[in-house]
A and B are shown apart, each in its own frame.
Chain A
Amino acid sequence: MPTEVILPKVDMDMSHGTIAAWHVAEGAAVTQGQPLFDIETDKAAMEVESPADGMVHHQTPAGTEVAIGTPVAWLYAEGEEVGPRPDGAAPAAPDARAAAQPLPQDPGVPAADHRAQPAPDQTPSAPAPKTAPDPPSDLRPDPTTGGLRATPAARAAARDAGVDLAAVSGSGPRGRVQRGDVLAFAPRRRAPSGPAVPLVLIHGFGADAGVWRALEAAVDPSRPVIQLELPGHGRVPAAKIRDFKDLVSRIRTEFDALDLPLAELVGHSLGGACALALADTRAPRVAGLTLIAPAGLGPQIDGAAIAGVARASKAESLGPWLRGMVGAPAALSDRYIAAAARARADAGLHAAQSQMAEVLFADGVQTFDLTPALARVGCPLRLIWGKRDSVIPWRHALRAPGRAALHLFDDLGHLPQIEDPAAIAALIAPVTTTTVGRAVHA
């Protein structure tokens, strides 16, 4: 059976979207992850990737506005017979009648049966209407019950996190919201309240948002905290990174999507380099910058540790590398290492991270230099480093300009926020919009 390509929900308030352009011609082959088409909503334009490999058929023409969840094309396997549109709708002219038909989704019914279904009142030559059809009844939230397509696990996760499921876009078949969708949505925003400027945390190479857990618990709970994850890390899909600039542009897109008027950036290691690059290009929106053992301030880095972490797939192989990074090996519990290893169990993640390491830290050398950017930082800037850091030499901190605050800890290694979260949280004192205003304009 061909794979359905639906119009995904890419925006919270989105009910319809317009197909702006197809990247792949009708009948051509695509591979999973390849850009397939662009959609435009009232607010944004967005590229949609192909959900599977196959030949694209029955494309809904560019310029057509359709409801979310509506099929806009089908992917056929090599050699699979291409009949009429599997949903029986009139090609290129989705109308209310076609949309009202139940979707042929019973996997037990062979495709031939769908073909046998009459497609009533087909009007192949009718121009594509600008108005969208209603989504098929089983895709549309029920107006009385608010029913929507989500797995039990997603519902449970949404309950736990206090997330409104309707706000989460589903990555599953036919837009089904899955647990991962809720998790990816939920932890990013700790309810903003009060005038505090949100903290935006960017983790380092080989880690994920979990690296901030201890610090997050130690900072003022009224402070909104938002975590950005690097491509190929945590829950962010793997992507081939061309160079550091490419990495930063992806992080910048994520940051822009947060739509924050003001934020304080905290970055660790490679995430520190990203935070610095972000502060350089988004200066008006960055109220403060905290760099913890950042990359990008000198060529030296422990290439073996980087490669080791990228490859590590289990606690036994990850543990020694991580323990070698901290001032006191006992600072990392077995539980922390087991959890970190579990989060890294995906083979695709190793490949992506190894590729990234090769590009960014070729031959054990940091290939990008951010010292000019460091000199340009206009907002309050602090660098935090452990003098026992074996991954990136703490002396790189000495390249900071005179107005930066340096916090150098004798007994800490490369992971200060895990080794002594309370001390690091104390440094990241609450910054309110008013104090920021003074700091920036004084």
Chain B
Amino acid sequence: MDGAPPTRDLSFAEALREAMDIALAEDDRVVLMGEDIGVYGGAFQVTLDLVHKYGAERVIDTPISELGGAGVAVGAALTGLWPIYEFQFSDFSTLAMEQIVNQAAKLRYMLGGAVSVPLVYRMPTGSGTGAAAQHSQSLEAWFGHVPGLKVVQPSTPADAKGLLLAALDDPDPVLIFEHKLLYKTKGAVPEGRHTVALGTAETRREGRDLTLVASGVMVDRALEAAEALAGEGVSAEVIDLRSIRPIDRDTVLASVRKTGRLMVIYEAVKTLGIGAEISAMVAESDAFDFLDAPIVRLGGAESPIPYNPTLEAAAVPQIADIVRAARDLAGGVV
């Protein structure tokens, strides 16, 4: 901690906008790109009025082609700009896989380090908004599987700002997954330039009996569950991953060494996801010897996200699910 910098209460969306505002003001190379991010202000009103402050040459509305927009961003990055490209919904990044996975992620490697692709993709993500199967997915693990990409997932307004600015500082492509349910949540955000190092997790709550690893909106749910569990005498530690790739291995392993019990909570489909990665990471490490119960993964259902609100809520971990599973894990029932 470098003293306590002054903070202001901002929403998650405001914190992201402030980060972009700072970046646009600091360096002419920074440009924003995306569908309806100009006068309309963005699908979730994150860029809002930045077009009026910096003009249409730096806050650029792109045509309705994710493949085209994401590709133009790669070209712009290769030729000296620092673009931030917004997908309206991260689900639409499936249309731009070629540019993200085959171009942005690989060009530095394939050209022997002669170039880098310093761009940021902003990815509004997740369920809970009634936007149905094609607008509610959690695809962060897809991109976390690709060497050459970095993937972050903030859970607080402060981290939204800090991770977005750190992503822009990074010489390689970074995807920032912004959970749509978080846009309106408020929190203290450090003033001015504030960065959070990529690949660093944060222990949000110290505990003794079990470790809950989560990211994005699941951090809030894990914290609320931990509070409920404390009332039952179960002491849960909550780790906010913040980065999916690279993963902060040390923080997770240290916590498991301490508690001996691990539960990974994530909204994405349970199978072949972040939970599997973290479980394997622990099982392959010396923290294995500290496990005093099987690892528990609490992930999304093996189904598309339903439109029906009741089913939509049932398809991803909720606070009550976390409390129940954690109680069993800590109580030796699992």
Question: What residues make up the interface of A, taking CB atoms closer than 8 Å to B?
Answer: 3, 52, 151-156, 171-173, 178-180, 342, 345-348
**Closest chain A CB from B334 CB (angstroms):** 7
Given contacts A179-B260, A345-B208, A156 and B289 within 8 Å (CB-CB): yes
Given contacts A151-B291, A151-B292, A52 and B333 within 8 Å (CB-CB): yes
**Interface contact A347-B291, CB-CB below 8 Å:** no
Is B54 located at the chain interface by the 8 A CB criterion? Answer: no
Q: How large is the interface on B (under 10, 10 to 19, 20 to 34, 35 or more residues)?
A: 10 to 19
The residues of B that contact A155 with a CB separation of less than 8 Å are 289
The residues of B that contact A52 with a CB separation of less than 8 Å are 333
Q: Is the interface of B mostly helix, strand, loop or mixed?
A: loop
Given contacts A346-B233, A348-B233, A152 and B291 within 8 Å (CB-CB): yes
**Closest chain A CB from B262 CB (angstroms):** 12
The residues of B that contact A171 with a CB separation of less than 8 Å are 332
| Cα of A100 to Cα of B50 in the assembled complex, Å | 69
Is B293 located at the chain interface by the 8 A CB criterion? Answer: yes
Is B288 located at the chain interface by the 8 A CB criterion? Answer: yes
Residue of B260, B290, B292 with most partner-chain A CB within 10 A: B292
| Residues 287-305 of chain B, each 1 if its beta carbon lies under 8 Å from chain A, else 0 | 0111111000000000000
| Cα of A152 to Cα of B332 in the assembled complex, Å | 14
B292 interface neighbour in A173, A178, A348, Cβ under 8 Å: A178
The residues of A that contact B235 with a CB separation of less than 8 Å are 345
**Interface contact B289-A153, CB-CB below 8 Å:** yes
| Residues 160-203 of chain B, each 1 if its beta carbon lies under 8 Å from chain A, else 0 | 00000000000000000000000000000000000000000000
**Interface contact B332-A172, CB-CB below 8 Å:** yes
A-B contact pairs, 16 of them (CB 8 A): A52-B333, A151-B291, A151-B292, A152-B288, A152-B290, A152-B292, A153-B290, A153-B291, A155-B289, A156-B289, A171-B332, A172-B332, A178-B293, A345-B208, A347-B233, A348-B233
The residues of A that contact B233 with a CB separation of less than 8 Å are 346-348
Q: Apart from A151-B293, A346-B233, what are 16 other A-B pairs with CB-CB below 8 Å?
A: A3-B333, A151-B260, A151-B291, A151-B292, A152-B291, A152-B292, A153-B289, A155-B289, A156-B289, A156-B290, A171-B332, A178-B332, A179-B292, A342-B208, A345-B208, A347-B232
Identity of the chain A residue whose Cβ is nearest the Cβ of B207 in the assembled complex: A345
| Cα of A347 to Cα of B209 in the assembled complex, Å | 13
**Closest chain A CB from B255 CB (angstroms):** 14
The residues of B that contact A172 with a CB separation of less than 8 Å are 293, 332
The residues of A that contact B232 with a CB separation of less than 8 Å are 347
**Closest chain A CB from B261 CB (angstroms):** 9
**Which 8 pairs show the lowest CB-CB distances between chains A and B?**
A347-B233, A153-B292, A156-B289, A152-B291, A179-B292, A151-B292, A152-B289, A153-B260
| Cα of A152 to Cα of B333 in the assembled complex, Å | 17
